[in-house]
Structures are given as C-alpha cells and as structure tokens.
C-alpha cells in the first residue's frame, strides 16, 4: 500500500471502520404498490410531476426547491416534449453525497434529464440522469469529484391530488485526487407529491441504502430525505 493510499484511507476512516452494510431489501416498495386501492388509480393526478414518472409537459417549466438531508437543492425543468424534460440543479450540501457519517459542506452543479418510458392509466415509468460536478471542504481540505446519477422511478397516481413514487437510484460518483476513487451508492425508496392545484405541489422523497467503496472493499449507510415544493409555469 502506497503512502498516498494510506493517507487517503486514514482520511476516510469514519467509513472504513463501519461494519459492512447488510443487503438492503426494498420490500416496502412492493408494499406501496400493493397498498394503492385499484379504483383510485383511474385518475392520473394532475398529469405532471417532478419526482414521479410523468413529465412536466411540452413547453412548460417547473421550478423546484427541496431541503433536508444531505442539503438544499434548487432546480429548473423544461418540458422539451411530452416524454422528455431537461434542466439543471444546484445544491448546497451539509452531508457529503448523502453519507450519514460525513457532515462536510459542499456545492454541486448538475444537469437534469428525465425520460418517460411508458405510461398507462394506472402507472408510469421513467429514467433519470443527473451528471455533474461537486466540491466539498472536509477538515480544511478540498475534495473535487464528478457525479453520474442514474435512476428508475415508478409513478402511481392516487386520486386527483396525490401521486406516489417508488424507485431505485444509483448516484455513482468519483473523487479526483483524494485517493478515494469511485463510490457506488445503491439507494431504494419512495415519495409523494400533493397537488394544491394544477400549478403547485408540495413533495417529499426518501432514498436509502449502502454506498460501496471498491478501493477499500467497504461500504457505508447513505440516505437522501428531502421535502420541498414545485411550481409549474
């Protein structure tokens, strides 16, 4: 082991000393799907979303803001077509990429792409891509890196005012020059959007699971729990 790798390993000790996270089994996602009453699925919410699988609508724009852990995120989405949204996100974080043991401040800037794969009267499916870059400031140091998050989400309308979502996110990220290298989070969870009217919703999203550190043969618990609002114009 080189001196550089030993130094990086020591800097990452809060994660390396944790026991390996056991396999995360997202059985509650299936429970969410089964718990939705079948008659309620006849109505498709308000026809748009920012957390589920419906796009915001061709030519429409949505501003969204969320706060919680790991930080504060502001985003803007534009409906490029009925099936594709494109936009961007800016985040100020106080938790390093959702790692619950790393309370480091940082900034992150990302593109935001959503592609609706399929849609029926009962459910819709989408992929999300959010590539970008970040900088964190641990222990009077500076850590740079890049993120390449990919996600799959299922949207489930419940009546006209509520839409649920369930999905898996893999916010893959790579640290540059700190000896940490790639990190592979595998996060499962769900969320909801409550529509006050056709233009405005309040929302909550939860994802959790392990982040795997291949270079150290280790893992650490990761969580994203964010509440916010979205406004379509």
pLDDT one-digit tens code per residue, 39-82: 444 456 789 999 999 999 999 999 999 999 999 999 999 999 99
In this structure, is residue 145 part of a structural domain? yes
Task: Output the pLDDT for position 44.
Answer: 64
In this structure, is residue 77 part of a structural domain? yes
Question: Domain with 105 in it: what CATH number?
Answer: 2.40.160
Supply the mean pLDDT for the chain: 86
The whole domain housing 131 covers: 48-159+167-232
Rounded distance between C-alpha atoms, residue 21 and residue 38, angstroms:
36
In this structure, is residue 61 part of a structural domain? yes
In this structure, is residue 35 part of a structural domain? no
In this structure, is residue 148 part of a structural domain? yes
**Looking at the predicted structure, is the pLDDT value of residue 205 above 90?**
yes
In this structure, is residue 70 part of a structural domain? yes
The total number of structural domains that make up the chain = 1
Task: Output the pLDDT for position 207.
Answer: 98
In this structure, is residue 8 part of a structural domain? no
**Looking at the predicted structure, is the pLDDT value of residue 33 above 70?**
no
> b/e string for 130-169 if b means 16 or more Cβ within 10 A?
bebebebebeeeebebebebebebbbbbbeeebbbbbbbb
In this structure, is residue 126 part of a structural domain? yes
**Looking at the predicted structure, is the pLDDT value of residue 90 above 90?**
yes
The pTM of the whole model exceeds 0.85: no
Which one is predicted more confidently, 21 or 149? 149
**Looking at the predicted structure, is the pLDDT value of residue 26 above 90?**
no
């Amino acid at each position: 082991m080189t001196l550089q790798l030993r130094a990086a390993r020591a800097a990452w000790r809060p994660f390396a000393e944790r026991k390996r996270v056991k396999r995360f089994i997202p059985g509650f996602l299936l429970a969410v799907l089964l718990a939705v009453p079948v008659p309620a699925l006849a109505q498709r919410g308000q026809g748009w979303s920012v957390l589920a699988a419906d796009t915001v609508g061709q030519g429409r724009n949505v501003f969204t803001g969320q706060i919680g852990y790991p930080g504060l995120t502001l985003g803007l989405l534009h409906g490029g077509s009925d099936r594709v949204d494109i936009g961007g996100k800016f985040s100020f974080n106080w938790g390093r990429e959702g790692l619950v043991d790393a309370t480091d401040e940082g900034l992150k800037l990302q593109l935001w792409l959503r592609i609706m794969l399929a849609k029926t009267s009962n459910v819709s499916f989408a992929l999300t891509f959010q590539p970008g870059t970040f900088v964190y400031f641990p222990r009077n140091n500076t850590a740079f890196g890049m993120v390449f998050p990919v996600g799959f989400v299922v949207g489930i309308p419940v009546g006209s005012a509520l839409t649920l979502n369930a999905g898996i996110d893999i916010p893959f990220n790579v640290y540059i020059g700190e000896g940490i290298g790639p990190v592979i989070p595998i996060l499962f969870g769900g969320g909801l959007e409550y529509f006050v009217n056709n233009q405005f919703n309040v929302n909550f999203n939860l994802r959790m699971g392990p982040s795997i550190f291949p270079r150290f043969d280790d893992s650490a618990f990761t969580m994203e729990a964010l509440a916010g609002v979205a406004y379509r114009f």
